[in-house]
Amino acid sequence: MAILLLGNLSAQEGVQVQDTVQGRQINIVYGANFTKDEEQFPGASIFSKDDQRQVQFEHQGADLWCDIAIFYSAENRLKAIGNVRLQQGDSIEMNSGKLDYNGNTKLARAWDNVDLTDGQMTLTTDTLYFNREKQQSFYNSGGKVVDSVNVLTSKIGTYFMELKKVQFRDSVHIENPDYTIDSEQLDYYRISKNAYMYGPSTVTGKDYEIYCERGFYDTRREQGYGVKNTTIHYNNRIIEGDSVYFDKVREFASATNNIKVTDTINKGVLKAHYAEVFKANDSVFATKRAVSIGLVEKDQDSLYVHGDTLMITGKPEARILRAFRNAKFYKTDLSGKCDSIHSEEKTGVTQLIGRPILWNVENQMTGDSIHLISDLETDKLDSLKVINNAFIISLDTIGKTGYNQAKGINLLGKFIDNELKIIDLIKNTEVIYYMYNDDDELIGINKTTCSRIRMLMENSDIEDITFYVNPDGTIFPEEDWAQQIQKLDGFVWRGEERIRSKDDIFDEDDNNIELVKIRGIDNLIDIDAEERERSGLPELPTNSNDQNPNSKAIKPKRPALKKVGRKE
């Protein structure tokens, strides 16, 4: 085998290769030792390093160094072996043990301990395909990307050099000291450190977990959102919605459209079309058809509370629920409405404030304010207080024409098995009630005034009544009753307003809310253009994303306090 030492290869006749494809020919910069081996490498020129430097080639803005090069000039391709380094411009550098390069297609295949860096991140893999024409590199046998913030791994990956983006597929994993991300597919922008997730994806932080099937995450700020099947486990709550936003630094999460917030400690549920969670204040704010659903008794009936705005604050053992404006509630045997509701779990007291009205079975109760008190051990409704101008009315269930009525300054009631059984009316009391015998025959109508009245109730009717301190009353026979004043002063029957189902707590405006249109699923957004604008990079030619099937997806948005996701 003849060996020719080349000091200046370009000066040697027959060594400098002529351009066979205009502008595409691989050029030899330093050939060092030259030989041929037609038996093993027919038509190839073999170059090997000398004591001074490695073999060097140049091709359209890229330089390649290696220990040994097998160069097929007629085919304009080469095979590089040993300490291979491919340098493109000032930033892209690829190192490997071996490399095949085609000058006509500008395709390279590198294998054997491959690493590629752009100065800010390093990609390592067993085998890497580098398309210099499209400025993309690709691996399908497992790879790892390391930058200043994260370590990212996947089975398949594509690096879009102009976009500064890596598209990871299959078993994608991001490792960060503060969190991890697992996804089926994830697009990662090297400059902004933003990640776009496609398919089942989970972000697990120190005190939160996010699941979505399409979402965005700013890996530097631990901030992001999901717009498809999104669930966030945060601060003893599970937050679900069409669009859910999360911000670790602000200790804040919010959601838009079809929201469900579950209290994992107290088992309560809040539903709405807009909600916010503040971890520092241990609070939830909700509006737009907002309803809180909680168990009044363990493993039994649910209480539905609605207001134009709902707020839940406090630690799990001391939650406070507030419903503002147009407040209503419903339970199978209890319902009511008022201007606002204040319910405190620690005391078991629920206050109905501002023109309250309460229905229990067939009893209607009104007053300046109403307090419902629950048993803290059993969660059962225990008692109630009607403060100032207490008035209780029920339809005479036998005759169906008159109304049993009682009024006083205050009312105290006792519940047994969720039914109001004992009623004490205190100060300036008056009563009208229909009296029947055991055969349901009307005996007469009792109209009495005194200082205090106790009524024992059965099936919403007065079973027994006791008058205290100077009662003054008359029992009128039916034929004389028509001549009497049949209603106490202040009587207002509001039976048509009664809330008879959980759906009745919503009015027409609640039921006709037009949901916000969340962008990112049906209305695709060019995230590549968004990222380039964010990073201050120039626009790319219109065809630069041809190989990126997911270049249009959700657009990142850091919403204001009461905005989430991208909306029309």
Residue 427 sits in a domain of what CATH number?
2.60.450.10
Q: Reply yes or no on whether the pLDDT at 17 is more than 60.
A: no
192: left (phi over 0), alpha (psi -120 to 50) or beta: alpha
Q: 279: Cβ–Cβ under 8 A, 6 or more apart, which residues?
A: 234, 235, 251, 252, 253
In this structure, the answer to whether residues 419 and 452 fall within a common structural domain is yes
Per the structure block, which two tokens stand in for 561? 């306090």
Helix, strand, coil percentages in the chain from 3-state DSSP, rounded to 5: 5, 55, 35
Q: Reply yes or no on whether the pLDDT at 558 is more than 80.
A: no
Q: What is the dihedral of CA 403, 406, 412, 417, to 10 degrees?
A: -20
pTM score? 0.79
The CA angle 385-388-391, to the nearest 5 degrees, is 75
Q: Are 295 and 267 a contacting pair, CB within 8 Å?
A: yes
Per the structure block, which two tokens stand in for 82? 């040993």
β-sheet bridge partners, residue 34: 4, 47
Q: What is the pLDDT of residue 296?
A: 57
Per the structure block, which two tokens stand in for 462? 């007065």
Q: Reply yes or no on whether the pLDDT at 3 is more than 70.
A: no
Q: Are 32 and 6 a contacting pair, CB within 8 Å?
A: yes
Average pLDDT, rounded, for the chain: 85
Provide the domain count of the chain: 3
In this structure, the answer to whether residues 387 and 493 fall within a common structural domain is yes
Q: What is the pLDDT of residue 524?
A: 61
Q: Are 36 and 20 a contacting pair, CB within 8 Å?
A: no
Helix (H, G, I), strand (E, B) or coil at 535: helix
Q: What is the pLDDT of residue 376?
A: 84
In this structure, the answer to whether residues 481 and 551 fall within a common structural domain is no
In this structure, the answer to whether residues 520 and 389 fall within a common structural domain is no
- Does residue 331 sit within a domain? no
Q: 344: Cβ–Cβ under 8 A, 6 or more apart, which residues?
A: 318, 319, 320, 321, 350
- Does residue 413 sit within a domain? yes
What is the average pLDDT across 140-168? 94
In this structure, the answer to whether residues 345 and 419 fall within a common structural domain is yes
CA distances from 265 to 208, 211, 237, 300, 317 (A): 16, 20, 8, 17, 9
Burial 216-237 (b: 16+ CB within 10 A, else e): bbbbeebbbbbbbebbbbbbeb
Alpha helices in 167-324 (DSSP H): none
- Does residue 293 sit within a domain? no
Q: Which residue in this structure is represented by tokens 């909306």? A: 567
Q: Which residue in this structure is represented by tokens 């933003």? A: 194
Of the candidates 185, 180, 189, 187, the one whose C-alpha atom is nearest the C-alpha of residue 200 is 185
- Does residue 327 sit within a domain? no
In this structure, the answer to whether residues 525 and 496 fall within a common structural domain is no
**Greater confidence, 244 or 544?**
244
Q: Reply yes or no on whether the pLDDT at 12 is more than 50.
A: no
> Can you tell me the distance from the alpha carbon of 70 to that of 43, in angstroms, rounded to the nearest whole number?
10
In this structure, the answer to whether residues 153 and 269 fall within a common structural domain is yes
What is the average pLDDT across 20-33? 79
User: Of all residues in the chain, what percent carry a pLDDT higher than 70?
Assistant: 87
Element (H, E) at 226: strand 223-228
User: Of all residues in the chain, what percent carry a pLDDT higher than 90?
Assistant: 60
What is the average pLDDT across 103-112? 96
Q: What is the pLDDT of residue 535?
A: 65
> Can you tell me the distance from the alpha carbon of 244 to that of 301, in angstroms, rounded to the nearest whole number?
30
> Can you tell me the distance from the alpha carbon of 451 to that of 470, in angstroms, rounded to the nearest whole number?
7
Of the candidates 293, 242, 241, the one whose C-alpha atom is nearest the C-alpha of residue 263 is 293
Q: What is the pLDDT of residue 261?
A: 93
Per the structure block, which two tokens stand in for 404? 């049993």
Q: What is the pLDDT of residue 523?
A: 57
Q: Reply yes or no on whether the pLDDT at 300 is more than 90.
A: no
- Does residue 258 sit within a domain? yes
Q: Reply yes or no on whether the pLDDT at 344 is more than 70.
A: yes
In this structure, the answer to whether residues 386 and 478 fall within a common structural domain is yes
β-sheet bridge partners, residue 461: 458
In this structure, the answer to whether residues 275 and 357 fall within a common structural domain is no
Helix (H, G, I), strand (E, B) or coil at 148: coil
Which domain, by its residues, includes 245? 134-288+513-568
297: Cα separation from own chain's centroid: 30
> Can you tell me the distance from the alpha carbon of 251 to that of 234, in angstroms, rounded to the nearest whole number?
9
Q: Which residue in this structure is represented by tokens 């079309």? A: 273
In this structure, the answer to whether residues 94 and 138 fall within a common structural domain is no
Q: Reply yes or no on whether the pLDDT at 378 is more than 90.
A: no
- Does residue 500 sit within a domain? yes
pLDDT in tens, 480-536: 887 788 899 999 999 999 999 999 999 888 888 888 887 655 656 677 877 777 666
Q: Which residue in this structure is represented by tokens 């200790």? A: 251
Q: What is the pLDDT of residue 14?
A: 36
- Does residue 122 sit within a domain? no
In this structure, the answer to whether residues 150 and 222 fall within a common structural domain is yes
pLDDT in tens, 114-150: 999 998 899 999 999 999 999 999 999 999 999 999 9
Band of residue 543 on the pLDDT scale cut at 50, 70, 90: very low
> Can you tell me the distance from the alpha carbon of 442 to that of 461, in angstroms, rounded to the nearest whole number?
14
Q: What is the pLDDT of residue 417?
A: 80
- Does residue 324 sit within a domain? no
In this structure, the answer to whether residues 273 and 401 fall within a common structural domain is no
pLDDT in tens, 40-67: 999 999 999 999 999 999 999 999 999 9
> What count of Cα atoms within 13 Å lies in the side-chain half-sphere of residue 396?
20
Q: Are 323 and 307 a contacting pair, CB within 8 Å?
A: yes
